[in-house]
Amino acid sequence: MRLRPTLALLCAIVLLPLRSSSAQIRLSGVGTLATSIAPFEAFSAGAVQFEFLLVQPPSATPLDPAAFLLEGLSGRFVQGSSQITLVGDLLFYTEGFDGGFSFESPVGTFILDTFGEQMFTGTIFSPRLIEGEFSLENFPDFPATLAVQGNVALTAVPEPSSLLLVVAGGVLLFGMARHRRV
């Protein structure tokens, strides 16, 4: 009978860090490059994976009533063994302005430009990104460098301390099971 409270406590130690209270969110997906143009000279036409690491909640600059801006973010773009990192501005749009997001380079080129679902809750003054998969489309009138294909995902990035707690809980459970057999 004494084992049940101890086991419940150990399960809580293992499972508690797995909830998504992460300070970082990963925005990732796949885009299609139509032609090899700047800044993607090292890439060939075809699929390109992209990824951005964002802080949750984001430190946003509101734009009109339609969007908020995250300035100076690094985006990583990968195709096979080729990889580039671009710094630019990430914009998230409200549902009233077609939802989705855009990534704009410092020279004003839209690398990604999508519309669809709104990817945050709250207001543009205090947004909170929503974890999940989003079905987004590309703006046909303003073609961006990369055309998004498939879903775009926002996922939590576990903190190292959370992973340490998971490992510690697993070690404790193993130790209890081994002690019980002896």
Tally of domains within the chain: 1
Structure confidence by residue, pLDDT tens digits, 27-49: 999 999 987 778 888 899 899 99
In-domain check, residue 3: no
User: DSSP alpha helices (H): ranges in the chain?
Assistant: 3-15, 160-181
pLDDT higher at 1 or 119: 119
- Angle, vertex CA 66, rays to CA 120 and CA 123, nearest 5: 40
pLDDT reported for residue 57: 82
Residue 103: other Cβ atoms inside 10 A = 26
Q: pLDDT at residue 182 above 70?
A: no
- Structural domain contains residue 181: no
Q: How confident is the model at residue 13, as a pLDDT? A: 53
pLDDT for 92-147, tens place per residue?
A: 999 888 899 999 988 888 899 999 999 999 999 999 999 999 999 998 877 788 88
- Does residue 99 sit within a domain? yes
Lowest mean pLDDT among 2-6, 69-73, 125-129: 2-6
Radius of gyration of the chain (CA): 21
Measure the N-to-C terminal CA separation of the chain; round to a whole number of Å: 18
How much is the average pLDDT of 7-25?
Answer: 56
Question: Looking at residue 101, what is its pLDDT?
Answer: 94
Report pLDDT for 134: 94
Domain that residue 38 falls in: 22-161
Q: Is residue 36 part of a domain?
A: yes
Is residue 15 domain-resident?
no
Assess whether pLDDT exceeds 50 at residue 5.
yes
Domain assignment present for residue 171? The answer is no
Pairing of β 127-129 and β 46-55: unpaired
The pLDDT, as a whole number, for residue 26 is: 93
Structure tokens at 92: 């998230």
- Say what percent of the chain tops pLDDT 90: 45
Is 111 a member of any domain?
yes
Q: Given a cut of 90, is residue 19 above it in pLDDT?
A: no
Residue 157 lies in a domain: yes
**pLDDT beyond 50 at 165:** yes
